[in-house]
Structure 1
Amino acid sequence: MKKIAFISGTSGLIGMQLLHQLIKGNEYDSIISVGRRKLALKHDKLVQITGDLAGLKSWNLEEKLRSEDIGGIYFPLVQAIKDQMVVIHAYCSLGTTIKAAGSKEKFYQVDHDLVINFASWVKKQGATKLMYVSSMGADPMSSVFYSKVKGETEEDLKVFSFDYLGIMQPSILLGSRNEFRLGEEVAKILMKPLVWFKLLKKYRPIHDYQVAKAMIHHANEPKQVKVEVISSAMIQDF
């Protein structure tokens, strides 16, 4: 059986690392990137399908794949999916900031609604496992809007009853972002000693590639639980 990875959020810090690790690794035969626009990246294993993610639930996967198919090279992939001769895992690192989104409402549309749309759609395609990048401190009852939204998203993802839902809760992320986040950069500087002296694993900053590698590891490891919250400390251990 072919193994396929669906991934969304590839323009973000973890998403870029995740795509890199998926392409470099041998866990999957094909990688289907789901996004608003195409990345300037080509690889034999990578297929990019694009469109308005707000309407993702109505996307027809076969039509999307055929529209990208030059010379019939994706025919075996399309046929395998149609015949359900595939194992599908999904990876979601969709997310933004209130500043970048422009308002709390638009932030919620990205960090909650688009994530739920993706989960619903990949479940429909036959995905058995979903790995989701949340955040340390996520709590639907939190007084902090960011943490509250992340917590609500975690809870709503559980409703889909994947065979396995892995919820990553990393601390502050180290890596090269496309956008500048002042608060995050200040926090990185203040918390650098925790990295140098390997103190307080739960709180110290963590590299983007560590999160990406841990996601792939947990998705491909046999699991006895349906939902697992993977803390920043657990990612550090990995």
Structure 2
Amino acid sequence: MKKIAFISGTSGLIGMQLMHQLIKDSTYDMVVSVGRRKLTLKHSKLVQVEGDLTKLEEWDLEAKLRSEDLGGIMFPLVEAIQNRKAEIHAFCSLGTTIKTAGSQAKFYEVDHDYVLNFARWTFGLGASKFLYVSAMGANPQSSIFYNKVKGEVEEDLKVIPFDYLGLFQPSLLLGNRREFRFGEEVAKIVTKPLVWLKLAKKYRPIHDYQVAKAMISYANQLTYKKVEVIPSKEMQNY
């Protein structure tokens, strides 16, 4: 067992892309998806654990993995995590909207608290790198609630001593969402010409798969940076 990827937020646009690409990536031996519920996807490299994310730091991962085990196939994974025999990278694309969450308080719980819970939990398991999907305009001092929360998450993640923290700030995302977001659809129509004409690289919409590819690429790069902010224009290259 050489390398394990932990991922949370797989039901979302980028998370789904991340999971598929991590499974295809030969550098990762196992992919552990952490969420409130399991997806229907099955693969020999994929392990899914579910539960209450508000209590994530109380989870007994070994017990959850063993409860899923049939014939001892999870033993190498459990042993690698317990004995720190594998390199662990954690990828987080957790997020919601105020409309879906129902209130600013619930939005904050998902976009801030769940992310920090996942980060602290994976660090405790031995994760050396944490890759987080933030947003363009993330700023803890912003008057825009969404950007303020994303900025607070970035600042709070910096306190956790990962060897590497990658903060990815994509612009408007292009992809097939499960739910319809009127504002985003209008913005896509207005800004789509920027993609066709390859203009305004910093602001033009970016595909979900480009963000996912960038995250995996940065996770596997040798770097001496402790914290790195990756703007949307850099992810456009993937």
Structure 1 segment 8-47 matched on structure 2, within 5 A: 8-47=8-47
Residue 84 of structure 1: how far off its partner (Å): 1.1
CA distance in 2, matches of 1:132, 1:149: 14
Partner of 1:215: 215
Residue 80 of structure 1: how far off its partner (Å): 1.6
Residue 203 of structure 1: how far off its partner (Å): 0.4
CA distance in 2, matches of 1:160, 1:182: 36
Moved more, 99-108 or 71-80: 71-80
Q: What's the TM-score once normalised by structure 2's chain length?
A: 0.99
DSSP-derived class of the 1:138 partner: coil
Partner of 2:110: 110
Moved over 3 A (4+): none
DSSP-derived class of the 2:129 partner: strand
Structure 1 segment 124-143 matched on structure 2, within 5 A: 124-143=124-143
CA distance in 2, matches of 1:82, 1:210: 33
Partner of 1:197: 197
2:107 is the alignment partner of 1:87? no
CA distance in 1, matches of 2:229, 2:122: 20
Moved more, 1-10 or 136-145: 1-10
2:93 is the alignment partner of 1:100? no
DSSP-derived class of the 1:230 partner: strand
Partner of 1:185: 185
CA distance in 2, matches of 1:208, 1:80: 31
Residue 237 of structure 1: how far off its partner (Å): 2.5
Amino acid at match of 1:54: T
Residue 24 of structure 1: how far off its partner (Å): 1.1
Partner of 1:176: 176
Amino acid at match of 1:30: M
Amino acid at match of 1:57: E
DSSP-derived class of the 1:132 partner: strand
CA distance in 2, matches of 1:27, 1:93: 20
| Cα RMSD for the two superposed structures | 0.7
Amino acid at match of 1:159: V
Amino acid at match of 1:128: S
CA distance in 1, matches of 2:10, 2:234: 23
Q: What's the TM-score once normalised by structure 1's chain length?
A: 0.99
Partner of 1:156: 156
Residue 108 of structure 1: how far off its partner (Å): 0.2
Question: Structure 2 stretches of 5 or more lacking a match?
Answer: none
Structure 1 segment 54-65 matched on structure 2, within 5 A: 54-65=54-65
DSSP-derived class of the 1:10 partner: coil
CA distance in 2, matches of 1:237, 1:178: 26
Amino acid at match of 1:36: R
- What number of residue pairs does the alignment pair up? 238
DSSP-derived class of the 2:236 partner: helix
